[in-house]
Structure 1
Amino acid sequence: MGEVAMDDYEVVIIGAGICGLATAVALQKKEIKSVVMERSEALRNITGAAIGIRQNGWRALDQLGVADVLRRTGINIKRERIVGLDGGKQQEMPMNGETRCLRRKDLIDTLYAALPPTSVKFGCELESIKLDPNTTKPVLQFIDGSSITPKVVIGCEGGKSIVANFLNLKPTKMFPLCGVRGLSNYPNGHPFDQEFARFRKDNNLVGRIPMDNNLVYWFCAHPYFPKDDRIWEDPEAIRQSTLALLSDYPQEVKEMIEIADANSLSFTHLRYRAPWDLVRGTFCKGRVTVAGDAMHVMGPFLGQGGSAGLEDAVVLARNLAEKGLDNAEEAFNLYVKERRMRVVRLSLQTYFTGMLLGASSRLKQFMYVVLLSLIFRNSSGHVDYDCGGL
């Protein structure tokens, strides 16, 4: 992993995804030096199509100092429109607060550019983590045989996090749903309004969000049917399977999938960390903690996974700066206390929404509708959240 002075390893962040980079930027703004260890050989800015950022996420990006750059890359979405293709019913409502859809690449590149060039170390795949029995400091062992003993470790390496396993967090679970995502470019301009449109029929849901005058992000959530996983590595197989599934959808939806950039197409069996596990989970041990998907991976149904990770970064850096690295354990306890119920509520609403979409009977659908209406009277209230200042 190259020669780096030991004091550069005081704070180690595992994973250079959105949350890992955002955490490094937040710490830098509080004058805390960190190193991000990324297992890939280069920045992971070509995977993933796009990410929707609602008002709460923009508040976090403002604190990180990168919001204005990113606002220039995506148009502001003004309303939501839900179309029920079964009965032809439409529902329109104004979008609550600032909402833009960004290329994941733009977000990753902008966060990376806000860091010193040596902040991210590539080709560093974590193999294990343990606590030194004498100093209680975390010891990180990498698959190349190297090891380091930093003061602080923050796991931001997604739903299959080694750091989360060290904290004995319960394994993630699978929704009975999968998600297809893609980007479609209209060279002469697309005909769509500045709206987040959702088309639903049976247990299938298609969402569409324009990103600028030419580019459109879309996703399709539908029941998971086990197949040879290798099929889903082929973009054209993903395209044809999705078109077959949506054969009776409006022509504008089918055309959008037909012209999608093959490199942007992805298929994912959707996973989540159960809300009840988040209530009880141990998110820090000594000077080790987790953030982002490593803490609270959730389905995409509220579009809050990325924004929740941005919030984590701000809150974590604020507490660490306030308490200092020598009191990192206290800082992490405060961070977890502040974040727990926020991510529990987000995860619970996302869970009910996903299970409603995948429900196999009208009785189950009714049950999830009742639960959502009782617990989340304001279905978009989560976007009003403010994670506070750095």
Structure 2
Amino acid sequence: MGSTQKIAIVGAGLGGAAAATLLQQAGFQVDIYEQAPEFSRLGAGIHMGPNIMKIFRRMGIEQQLDQMGSHPDHWFSRDGISGDYLSRIPLGDFARKEYGASYVTVHRGDLHELQMSTIKPGTVHFNKRLETLEETDSQVRLTFSDGEVTYADIVIGADGINSKIREELLGPEKPLYSGWVAHRALIRGDQLAKYDLKFEDCIKWWTEDRHMMVYYTTGKRDEYYYVTGVPHPEWDFQGAFVDSSREEMYDAFQGYHPTVQALIESTESVTKWPLRNRNPLPLWSRGRLVLLGDACHPMKPHMAQGAGMAIEDAAMLTRCLQETGLSDYRTAFELYEANRKERASRVQSVSNANTWLRTQEDPAWVYGYDLYGQVLKSGVAA
């Protein structure tokens, strides 16, 4: 039962998958454990900004994602009632020139499948629900619900807002309900042809207390996706989401612009999800355990950067482990938190406030960020 010199990643979502690929490319032995029984095309739309596309360049999938996704020329914000423009944020060629990579909107499942294809065969283990962790002087013992036991030198918790690794570090605590829900729906592109309306590539419709974000999820423009943020006083349902309806959507967006009404009319099925988050955590690591993504800084989806922050975490954690070597994981974890916490916390705060790009502002601090161009700040406490 000697040292395996292995990294175990718990959770094979977008952040965990990125960590697996980047660490394997850096020469580490990595196994990834996912509680779902298999991969499936889950989720709906997602944004990948230039800050993340530059990481995908290192992973070797930037070009494939460029070809797969939609490339909006702008992020438009419009008044939900009048349709007046509140902001026109240039993307497209401007993003490629100014920020160094494309801005892409894509189906989350298609992106996830592409990421999973870059992980070394045989190192992703499905149907592995983590039951217990036991840290010793030299290893971590992981026990799964199917009875399998494995050992690792360090464990990366990429297991989301209800992270078992976070619970091990900080104790059980339910995430906070934000008071908002998100409706999600995919609309077939051909459904929109019957309307004499302008369906822009990437647009957020706003009023004072709610919004609807809409964009294409494929380069073929055959899927148009919307996600909302709507006040909901108390979440009284079990599970991750419940079914909603066009009637509920009409009620939630009464008086909104005809384009929004047409989108609701074209909706064949819609779901409703509670938006949950946590207060900033006092620590991201302890001993041989470390967190990334929603496990340590969950946020509302209003900046379209939640998954992006998890992928940035994965890239920075890989850099730090390369800097120190696996044997000095404590220093690597200190470096990681020192070089991620300020940025991730700022994005978390702005995202939760739901102010991002509502007015004409400069998004360069997010999109122009080059993780590989950052000089590592010391993680040693004063």
**Aligned residue for 2:25?**
29
Q: 2:207 aligns with which of 198, 201, 208?
A: 201
Is 1:216 matched up with 2:224? yes
Q: CA RMSD in A?
A: 2.9
Q: Distance in 2 between matches of 1:196 and 1:95?
A: 11
Q: Distance in 2 between matches of 1:8 and 1:16?
A: 21
Asked if the contact 1:314–1:389 (Cα under 8 Å) also holds between the matched residues in 2, the reply is no
Q: Distance in 1 between matches of 2:116 and 2:80?
A: 42
User: Which amino acid in structure 1 is aligned with residue 331 of structure 2?
Assistant: E
Q: 1:39 aligns with which of 35, 49, 55?
A: 35
**Aligned residue for 1:360?**
none
Asked if the contact 1:37–1:120 (Cα under 8 Å) also holds between the matched residues in 2, the reply is yes
Is 1:107 matched up with 2:103? no
Cα 1:215–1:87 shift into 2, 3 Å: closer
User: Which amino acid in structure 2 is aligned with residue 382 of structure 1?
Assistant: V
Is 1:140 matched up with 2:142? yes
Q: 1:259 aligns with which of 266, 275, 281?
A: 266
* 1:1-390 correspondence runs (5 A): 10-43=6-39, 45-86=40-81, 89-96=84-91, 97=95, 98-132=102-136, 135-168=137-170, 172-187=175-190, 192=198, 195-211=201-217, 212=219, 213-226=221-234, 228-229=236-237, 235=243, 237-260=244-267, 262=269, 265-274=270-279, 277-278=280-281, 281-353=282-354, 378=362, 381-388=365-372
**Secondary structure at 2:109's aligned position in 1?**
helix
Cα 1:198–1:31 shift into 2, 3 Å: same
User: Which amino acid in structure 2 is aligned with residue 333 of structure 1?
Assistant: E
Q: In the TM superposition, what whole-angstrom CA distance separates every residue of 1:230-284 from its partner, at most 9, and x where no partner exists?
A: 698553x34432232223223332332343453xx4322112232xx24xx2111
Of 147-156 and 245-254, more deviation after overlay is shown by: 245-254
What is the Cα deviation at residue 187 of structure 1?
Answer: 2.5
Percent of counterpart pairs with the same letter?
22
User: Which amino acid in structure 2 is aligned with residue 216 of structure 1?
Assistant: Y
User: Which amino acid in structure 1 is aligned with residue 75 of structure 2?
Assistant: E
Q: Distance in 2 between matches of 1:258 and 1:228?
A: 27
Q: In the TM superposition, what whole-angstrom CA distance separates every residue of 1:29-64 from its partner, at most 9, and x where no partner exists?
A: 112121110111111x33211111112111221122
Of 168-177 and 198-207, more deviation after overlay is shown by: 168-177
Which blocks of at least 5 consecutive residues in structure 2 are unaligned? 96-101, 375-382
Structure showing the higher helix proportion among its residues: 1
Q: Distance in 2 between matches of 1:73 and 1:261?
A: 24
Asked if the contact 1:292–1:310 (Cα under 8 Å) also holds between the matched residues in 2, the reply is yes
**Secondary structure at 1:153's aligned position in 2?**
strand
Q: Distance in 2 between matches of 1:152 and 1:233?
A: 33
Cα 1:301–1:149 shift into 2, 3 Å: same
Asked if the contact 1:23–1:313 (Cα under 8 Å) also holds between the matched residues in 2, the reply is yes
Asked if the contact 1:154–1:288 (Cα under 8 Å) also holds between the matched residues in 2, the reply is yes
Q: In the TM superposition, what whole-angstrom CA distance separates every residue of 1:322-365 from its partner, at most 9, and x where no partner exists?
A: 221111221121111111111111111112227x9xxxxxxxxx
**Secondary structure at 1:282's aligned position in 2?**
coil
**Secondary structure at 2:371's aligned position in 1?**
coil
**Aligned residue for 2:98?**
none
Cα 1:188–1:349 shift into 2, 3 Å: closer
Asked if the contact 2:51–2:369 (Cα under 8 Å) also holds between the matched residues in 1, the reply is yes
Q: Distance in 2 between matches of 1:261 and 1:153?
A: 42
**Aligned residue for 1:364?**
none
User: Which amino acid in structure 2 is aligned with residue 119 of structure 1?
Assistant: T
Q: In the TM superposition, what whole-angstrom CA distance separates every residue of 1:201-238 from its partner, at most 9, and x where no partner exists?
A: 34120111123322212111100143652698553x34
Q: Distance in 1 between matches of 2:242 and 2:291?
A: 33
TM-score, normalised via structure 2 length: 0.85
Which blocks of at least 5 consecutive residues in structure 1 are unaligned? 357-368
**Secondary structure at 1:61's aligned position in 2?**
helix
Asked if the contact 1:22–1:313 (Cα under 8 Å) also holds between the matched residues in 2, the reply is yes
Q: Distance in 2 between matches of 1:18 and 1:261?
A: 27
Cα 1:258–1:118 shift into 2, 3 Å: farther
User: Which amino acid in structure 2 is aligned with residue 200 of structure 1?
Assistant: W
Q: Distance in 2 between matches of 1:183 and 1:336?
A: 37
Of 198-207 and 5-14, more deviation after overlay is shown by: 5-14
The count of residues paired between Structure 1 and Structure 2 equals 359
Cα 1:234–1:313 shift into 2, 3 Å: closer
